[in-house]
Chains A and B, each alone.
Chain A
Amino acid sequence: EPEVTQTPSHQVTQMGQEVILRCVPISNHLYFYWYRQILGQKVEFLVSFYNNEISEKSEIFDDQFSVERPDGSNFTLKIRSTKLEDSAMYFCASKSRGQETSPLHFGNGTRLTVT
Chain B
Amino acid sequence: GDSVTQMEGPVTLSEEAFLTINCTYTATGYPSLFWYVQYPGEGLQLLLKATKADDKGSNKGFEATYRKETTSFHLEKGSVQVSDSAVYFCALGNTGTASKLTFGTGTRLQVTL
Q: Which residues of A line the B interface, CB within 8 A?
A: 4, 6, 31, 33, 35, 41-45, 48, 50, 55-56, 91, 93, 95, 98-109
Asked if A108 and B41 sit within 8 Å, CB to CB, the answer is yes
Whole-angstrom CA separation of A103 from B99 in the bound complex:
9
Contact B105 A41 (CB under 8 A): yes
Contacts of B25 in A (CB 8 A): none
User: Is B42 interfacial (CB 8 A cutoff)?
Assistant: yes
Is B105 a contact of A104 with CB atoms below 8 Å? Answer: no
Select A103's contact among B49, B95, B106, beta carbons within 8 Å.
Answer: B49
Contacts of B104 in A (CB 8 A): 42
Q: B106–A100 contact, CB under 8 A?
A: no
Find out whether the CB atom of A91 lies under 8 angstroms from the CB atom of B44. yes
Q: Are B93 and A91 in contact (CB under 8 A)?
A: no
Closest Cβ of chain A to B102, distance in Å, is 7
Interface residues of B in 60-113 (CB under 8 A from A): 89, 91, 93-95, 97-106
Chain B residues lying within 8 Å of A31, measured Cβ to Cβ, are 98-99
- Check A108 against B42 for contact (C-beta < 8 Å): yes
Contact A98 B99 (CB under 8 A): yes
